[in-house]
Chain A
């Protein structure tokens, strides 16, 4: 009886010791990692990580972020069929800095020669000045991570998305690029067994770099009839940059107007191409008006707004509206 009780005490004692040890380690890693002696940290370091590894290497710990990135346009910035075609088999120099950036840090990056198929990958954005950087100061045993506030600021994305960044800046809207395109949710930065328990949950940005769908509420359409003219206005009322936007890509909104006579026959039509490269994209919160002369007696007009992203020939319907005279 006495012996059983002792064993039980020992187990409980060891258990408590483990919990205390784990709590201490958790505290040290998440709150006071600077207390850990450098010699101890050096034992846990993986020098390969500081040699600009491929994304797969990073995925050994950051599996969730890696999976998100694999789904992103960034991961195929060098390999997408559309890019290869548009860049004349990757020979256009102007495309290279942002499709295979070496290091993104606030200004147009230089292109890199190695691991080009990885496109815009972990190292491009997180390995700056020979150290791993991110939105948090972290003790990640294989590599230290240093906090850089630019990771939650729009100017970071503006390194490549320069035109869009300027458009956003002109709006005075506080929401940053990351707020909309990398929405954060609480989660662990690492999924590696053991490490995932030692690191506390943090706000982690979505590394799919969500491309905002243009929804019905985003573009307000108004119309008006005059004696010999039909007027339409479009207003981008929710997206704090021009719509669509691109530095070099050619995304487009197509505005189609079909005019019908009393018998319901289509007698005329018109079209607008709303595209950044044609400098016709819809600026934030500003009404853009189009005016069409009516050559026939018109009874109704059908308005259709479609969106075609830069990487596709497919168009999706944003809005359809019929207006009667």
Chain B
């Protein structure tokens, strides 16, 4: 068997082992409370993911060194992997059952034979334990500990100049938006023009809101950028004209909805729905 074939087989085992187990029904449930102590703010460092990286490094280190025939380091990584795996299994008691120490030990023993095919084969048993936990818990962990929480964001409403919760602010944007569209639909163009000032002001405030998390200008420009500016200018022009053109008005309303609201909601809402459920 050529070395290349052996490596391909080994790589296949590694990938099969690491890939999550796919299931059509996925339940996103809040991670156990004991995990919180391994993530900020309870912990200064994100210790859980650091632990994952440690295991992953030792796992990868075995195959890198088998390939390089650096058997001394293969043995070191094999021992360390078992050690870190055992340590991880004790960190979150609620997840103890995901771990199989014997599978880790069997894999380490196979790796220590320095036979890459044996190691690859033995890795699948261990990989499945990782994959099962990832498939069932990874989305929840990311939703809980990685995605920023919208409920922590406070926004200064440009109209009242009061600092309010993000959700309430979204509600106020929505109301001022309706002030524009409802009045326009009723042919009350002056009222729609006044409502547009309020809506625009609140909408543009979102640039400051995006900046609370995003460090680059381009991100906020994607949502509240030139397209939105043009759409607002178009709306203002229509509402200040003698006879507003409904076609142009609704086209610009649609542009704001598409370029701003929808783009941002596509990225952020799913996660925020999950977080909201847990925070109720």
B is bound to A: yes
Q: Check A277 against B211 for contact (C-beta < 8 Å).
A: yes
Q: Which of A250, A254, A293, A313 contacts B211 (CB 8 A)?
A: A250
Q: Which of A88, A270, A278, A293 contacts B207 (CB 8 A)?
A: A278
Q: Check B201 against A277 for contact (C-beta < 8 Å).
A: no
Q: Check B41 against A92 for contact (C-beta < 8 Å).
A: no
Q: Check B204 against A94 for contact (C-beta < 8 Å).
A: no
Q: Check A88 against B152 for contact (C-beta < 8 Å).
A: yes
Q: Is A89 an interface residue (CB 8 A)?
A: yes
A270: chain B residues at CB < 8 Å are 197
Q: Which of B163, B190, B204, B212 contacts A273 (CB 8 A)?
A: B204
Q: Assuming the A-B contacts A91-B40, A91-B41, A273-B201, are A86 and B208 also in contact, with contact meaning beta carbons closer than 8 angstroms in the complex?
A: no
Chain A residue at minimal CB-CB distance from B204 = A278
Q: Check A271 against B158 for contact (C-beta < 8 Å).
A: yes
Q: Which of A91, A248, A278, A313 contacts B205 (CB 8 A)?
A: A278
Q: In the docked arrangement, what's the CA distance between A271 and B201, Å?
A: 9
Q: In the docked arrangement, what's the CA distance between A91 and B205, Å?
A: 23
Q: In the docked arrangement, what's the CA distance between A275 and B220, Å?
A: 14
Q: Check B212 against A86 for contact (C-beta < 8 Å).
A: yes
Q: Is B240 an interface residue (CB 8 A)?
A: yes
Q: Which of A89, A250, A293 contacts B208 (CB 8 A)?
A: A250
**Please, how many residues of chain B have a CB less than 8 angstroms from a CB on the other chain?**
25
Q: Is A35 an interface residue (CB 8 A)?
A: no
Chain A residue at minimal CB-CB distance from B193 = A293
**Please, how many residues of chain A have a CB less than 8 angstroms from a CB on the other chain?**
20
The interface residues of chain A, by DSSP majority, are classed as: loop
Complex interface bits, B209-222 against A, C-beta within 8 A gives 1, otherwise 0 = 00111110100100
Q: Check A279 against B207 for contact (C-beta < 8 Å).
A: yes
B205: chain A residues at CB < 8 Å are 273, 278
How close is A229's CB to chain B, nearest CB, in angstroms?
9
How close is A72's CB to chain B, nearest CB, in angstroms?
24
Q: Which of B163, B194, B213 contacts A92 (CB 8 A)?
A: B213
Q: Check B41 against A277 for contact (C-beta < 8 Å).
A: no
Chain A residue at minimal CB-CB distance from B149 = A88
CB under 8 Å from chain A, chain B span 127-158: 148, 152, 158
CB under 8 Å from chain B, chain A span 252-281: 254, 270-271, 273, 275, 277-280
CB under 8 Å from chain B, chain A span 279-325: 279-280, 293, 295, 313
How close is A315's CB to chain B, nearest CB, in angstroms?
9
B163: chain A residues at CB < 8 Å are 313
How close is B264's CB to chain A, nearest CB, in angstroms?
16
A277: chain B residues at CB < 8 Å are 207-208, 211, 220
Chain B residue at minimal CB-CB distance from A275 = B208
B194: chain A residues at CB < 8 Å are 295
How close is A84's CB to chain B, nearest CB, in angstroms?
11
A92: chain B residues at CB < 8 Å are 213
A293: chain B residues at CB < 8 Å are 193, 240
How close is B64's CB to chain A, nearest CB, in angstroms?
28
A279: chain B residues at CB < 8 Å are 207, 217
How close is A252's CB to chain B, nearest CB, in angstroms?
9
How close is A249's CB to chain B, nearest CB, in angstroms?
9
Q: Could you name 24 residue pairs across A and B whose Cβ atoms are closer than 8 Å?
A: A86-B212, A88-B152, A89-B41, A91-B40, A91-B41, A92-B213, A94-B214, A248-B211, A248-B215, A250-B211, A270-B197, A271-B158, A271-B201, A273-B201, A273-B204, A275-B208, A277-B207, A277-B220, A278-B208, A280-B204, A293-B193, A293-B240, A295-B193, A313-B163
Query: 15 other contacts beyond A91-B41, A271-B159, A295-B190, with CB at 8 A cut-off?
Result: A86-B212, A88-B148, A88-B152, A92-B213, A248-B215, A250-B208, A270-B197, A273-B201, A275-B208, A277-B207, A277-B211, A278-B205, A293-B193, A295-B194, A313-B163
Interface pairs A-B: 7 shortest CB-CB? A94-B215, A277-B208, A277-B211, A278-B207, A91-B40, A250-B208, A273-B158
